Amino acid sequence: MASELELTLAGPLFIGAILVWALLGSLTIQLYDYHNTSRSSDRLSIQILVYTVFLVELLQTILITHTSWTALIANFGNDSALISTPWSSATTPILNGFVSASVQCFFAWRVWQLTHTNIGRSVAILIVVVAFMQLASAAAVTAEYVLLNRDYTKLPALSRAADVNNTPWFWVSSHTDSRLGLLGVWSATPS
């Protein structure tokens, strides 16, 4: 019978790995559609951004699969593998932060192109600044996790650090995404 630790940690890790692959499949279909329909009309810099985001997401999926494989398959039945996570587990926050900041900066640039008012452009600048703050918070969480030797039993210490690092990260992410959505609707509304 599985231990309580295995049930508590292995289940979410397994479900998360499956969801990551499902989302990568969805992203691959979107990339295929982009490649066949919109790519030829986009600037080279936008094409590079699209393919870079896809490659980073592919890398992240591979690293999450490595983490899951190591903890669930290679070390099956070994509770310590669930406690001391592999090196690949530390890459998730920084890769998420990079993708998120890249996409938010792209949308801020689009808003800048569509909005010709000082308010709209000021908000676009604010979104870029906040996106980089979010990236810095993601880097801080990654560094803190690595300093804790990726040990699950030390998560209370990471939790205290996360209160400092994650709270701005999550707040900034939701704040930036909300502003982008509102500004997109506002800039598309006829004057």
The alpha-helical segments, DSSP class H, found in the chain are: 4-37, 44-68, 79-83, 92-114, 118-147, 155-188
Beta bridge partners of 84: 151
Query: Side chain identity at 75, as an amino acid letter?
Result: N
Angle, helices 118-147/155-188, rounded to nearest 10 degrees:
160
Residue 182's CB is within 10 A of a number of other CB atoms, namely 11
Task: Name residues of the chain where pLDDT drops below 70.
Answer: 1-7, 80-83, 149-191
Which pLDDT value is given to residue 105?
A: 93
Distance between CA atoms of 170 and 158, rounded to whole angstroms? 15
**The two three-digit tokens of residue 45, written as one number:** 């810099």
Which pLDDT value is given to residue 176?
A: 63
Which pLDDT value is given to residue 182?
A: 66
Which pLDDT value is given to residue 160?
A: 59
| Phi (first) and psi of residue 84, to 5 degrees | -100, 100
**The two three-digit tokens of residue 128, written as one number:** 């870029």
pTM: 0.76
Which pLDDT value is given to residue 91?
A: 86
Distance between CA atoms of 72 and 66, rounded to whole angstroms? 10
